[in-house]
Amino acid sequence: MATMTTTLSSLPACRSKTAAGSPSSCSVFCRWPSKSSRNGGVRVQVSTTEAEAEVKKAEKVSKKQDEGVVTNKYRPKEPYTGRCLLNTRITGDNAPGETWHMVFSTDGEVPYREGQSIGVIADGVDAKTGKPHKLRLYSIASSALGDFGDSKTVSLCVKRLVYTNDQGEIVKGVCSNFLCQFFFLFRINACDLKPGSDVKITGPVGKEMLMPKDPNATIIMLATGTGIAPFRSFLWKMFFEEHDDYKFEGLAWLFLGVPTSDTLLYREEFERMKEIAPENFRLDFAVSREQTNAAGEKMYIQTRMAEYKNELWELLKKDNTYVYMCGLKGMEKGIDDIMVDLAAKDGIDWLDYKKQLKKGEQWNVEVY
């Protein structure tokens, strides 16, 4: 039995569902748990002794063996029809592009776990083929309890895709523009997903990004942009909820890379978590178009990680450290580059070491 320590019955008072104006902040909900509400305020820092690491090794359970994880309950031919309950822009006016947070009803019929994705089939047909649109995958941004704590909703964090093609024409991505509401420039377009609209959902899918079962684990989360979605889901379970069978006592460390401070997705929620669990949660941002390192280089996620490289490498030697990476494909190489040098100092070949970590489900990547 799980409960929410949050009070989320009300929709955000600080947002307009019709998105008439700019959001006043980048958080979705206005109320979070009080400082003392989680675990009675008691924090236990993760242990790093070798003896304890050995004990944890013996207890390691594969996240993929869990029979309760549902996949492909709904397929494209017979999708689940949910309803949009909330759709709100979570990036500011000066952001390059827009990202939206949306909540769909599921009536508990799409049972998902933290780290899974769902498919969405946009309304309408493909102009070229005349056939229904193909599904697009989206990482689930809510914990299994959902944003309203009743296990009856699923939330997404979606960036609107708009680009200029080789002919100089503005092209809008099919599904992201179906999901993100239209305003400003795009207001003329009628096909937006307003609260009350139906949405066709497939899945859930994916086991790569499931959370480790060990509540004492060190979980390092590396996100660029909307790659934050699965980590919001993890972190809500860890810090905003109470579960009889899961009480997080380890260390969660989030690195989030975004272009501007206007695009620091869910920033207020994460800062609240840090207040609730300062010993168990570390938070580092890399704002690429506003920050640089000492050498004047653009602050990418791997640039921020490099500031802690020795500490990260020590954590990676522990048997109960799990790394998760989600977002832009390009980030993986940048992160490998830091690790190659660090591992080499200990006479270790990083790529071999990474293979071992992957085998032990300690290195988990979903980039696109």
Ligand X SMILES: Cc1cc2nc3c(=O)[nH]c(=O)nc-3n(C[C@H](O)[C@H](O)[C@H](O)COP(=O)(O)OP(=O)(O)OC[C@H]3O[C@@H](n4cnc5c(N)ncnc54)[C@H](O)[C@@H]3O)c2cc1C
Ligand Y SMILES: NC(=O)c1ccc[n+]([C@@H]2O[C@H](COP(=O)([O-])OP(=O)(O)OC[C@H]3O[C@@H](n4cnc5c(N)ncnc54)[C@H](OP(=O)(O)O)[C@@H]3O)[C@@H](O)[C@H]2O)c1
Q: Tell whether residue 367 is a contact of ligand Y (CB under 6 A).
A: yes
Residue 272 annotated as lining a ligand binding site: no
Residue with tokens 């799990």: 322
Q: Which of 33, 82, 149, 259 binds ligand Y (CB under 6 A)?
A: 259
The residues in 123-152 that bind ligand Y, with binding defined as CB under 6 A, are 139
Residue 226 annotated as lining a ligand binding site: yes
- Residues with a catalytic annotation lie at 138-139, 326, 366, 368
Residue 153 annotated as lining a ligand binding site: no
Q: How far is the CB of 201 from ligand Y (least distance, A)?
A: 16
Do 342 and 309 meet the contact criterion of CB atoms below 8 Å apart?
Answer: yes
Letter for the amino acid at 52? E
Q: Which of 104, 138, 270, 324 binds ligand X (CB under 6 A)?
A: 138
Which residue of the chain is nearest ligand Y when measured via CB? 225
Residue 40 gets which letter from DSSP?
G
Round to whole Å and give the CA distance between 54 and 115: 27
The torsion angles phi and psi of 227, rounded to 5 degrees, stand at -60, -5
- Closer CB to ligand X, residue 117 or residue 362? 117
Q: Which of 135, 326, 338, 342 binds ligand Y (CB under 6 A)?
A: 326
Residue 298 annotated as lining a ligand binding site: yes
Round to whole Å and give the CA distance between 42 and 51: 24
Q: Tell whether residue 226 is a contact of ligand X (CB under 6 A).
A: yes
Token reading at 82: 């949910």
Q: What angle do CA 211, 122, 70 make, to 5 degrees?
A: 30
- Closer CB to ligand X, residue 170 or residue 295? 170
Cβ neighbours of residue 318 closer than 8 Å, sequence gap 6 or more: 48, 53, 218
Residue 327 annotated as lining a ligand binding site: yes
| Selected range binding ligand X among 30-38, 39-47, 142-150, 161-169, rule: CB under 6 A | 161-169
Q: Which of 4, 229, 306, 312 binds ligand Y (CB under 6 A)?
A: 229
Residue 366 annotated as lining a ligand binding site: yes
Do 53 and 320 meet the contact criterion of CB atoms below 8 Å apart?
Answer: yes
Q: Which does 328 bind (CB under 5 to 8 A by kind): ligand Y, ligand X, none?
A: ligand Y
Residue 137 annotated as lining a ligand binding site: no
| Bond from prior residue into 204 cis (ω within 30 degrees of 0) | yes
The secondary element (H helix, E strand) that includes residue 336 is helix 331-345
Q: Which of 109, 187, 194, 368 binds ligand X (CB under 6 A)?
A: 368
Q: Which of 75, 163, 194, 317 binds ligand X (CB under 6 A)?
A: 163
- What is each CA distance from 223 to 136, 219, 228, 229, 323, in whole angstroms? 20, 13, 5, 9, 11
Round to whole Å and give the CA distance between 107 and 83: 10
Residues facing residue 258 across a β-bridge: 287
Letter for the amino acid at 146? G
Alpha helices in 170-228 (DSSP H): 174-179
Residues at the interface with ligand X (CB under 6 A): 117, 136-139, 157-159, 161, 163, 165, 173-177, 226, 229, 366, 368
Residues at the interface with ligand Y (CB under 6 A): 139, 159, 224-227, 229, 257-259, 263, 288-289, 300-302, 326-328, 330-331, 334, 366-368
Annotated binding site: 139, 159, 226, 258-259, 288-289, 298, 327-328, 366
Annotated binding site for NADP(+): 139, 159, 226, 258-259, 288-289, 298, 327-328, 366
